[in-house]
Copies of this chain bind each other. A is one copy, B any other.
Amino acid sequence: MGRRKLEIKRIEDKRCRQVAFSKRRKGLIKKANALSILCDVDVGVVIISNDGTARLHEYSSTNSVTGILQRYDSHVETEKEISAEIQVTEHSKYSSMATRELLQETERQLEKTNADDLAVTDLIHLENELQAALIQIRSRQTNLLLESVKGLHEKEKLLREENKHLEDNIATTIKKNRRGNEMSDLQPQRVTLNFL
């Protein structure tokens, strides 16, 4: 795209690399913006450079980054409804919807391509699709984490209640004991624990 053809490999000259980075980063974000507007889709771009000081550059068509991430979540939510199983069947979740489509796509690709000219671009494409599946799994993990927190809070509450009951129990037992020892007449205990 410039004065001469450029091989796609790391630019060794630091100066040139830096300039190219600045230009191409701008270009990439511009294209991301055009794509999102022209085709009415949400696009997010993240660039992490490591030249000495690691810097983070970002673009998102949605107002906030959390916005696009919430879209992830709702996307994942939909899949969850389809395979609303428990942890034991967790494995089956990975073969739902998009993942199944992905495998079909892979088969199609392999069918129509001779082993000879299995283009690198094809492989890159498949790789990207697989990565898309991975990000979905990651989102799923985030959701599970949130559920985990919720569950743990409930557990904590129940355990605290149980503790309270047990303490009361001990208190009354001791009291009655004392009384019973004095009057030689111990009363039967009733231990009632109601929760859940």
Residues on A close to B: CB < 8 A? 6, 8-11, 17, 20-21, 24-25, 27-29, 31-35, 37-50, 54-60, 64-66, 68-69, 71-72, 75, 78, 98, 124, 128, 131-132, 134-136, 138, 142, 145-146, 148-149, 151-156, 158-160, 162-163, 166-167, 169-170, 173-174, 177, 180-181, 184-189, 191, 193, 195-196
Contact = CB atoms under 8 A, between A and B. Distances in A.
A181 to B, nearest CB: 5
What is the interface of chain A mostly: helix, strand, loop, or mixed?
Answer: helix
A35 B25 contact: yes
A136 to B, nearest CB: 7
A37 B17 CA distance: 10
Closest 5 A-B residue pairs measured CB to CB?
A: A58-B132, A166-B166, A152-B152, A21-B39, A159-B159
24 contacts: A10-B38, A17-B39, A17-B40, A20-B38, A24-B35, A24-B39, A28-B31, A32-B45, A35-B47, A42-B46, A56-B136, A58-B135, A59-B128, A159-B159, A162-B193, A163-B163, A166-B167, A173-B174, A177-B177, A177-B180, A181-B184, A184-B186, A187-B188, A195-B196
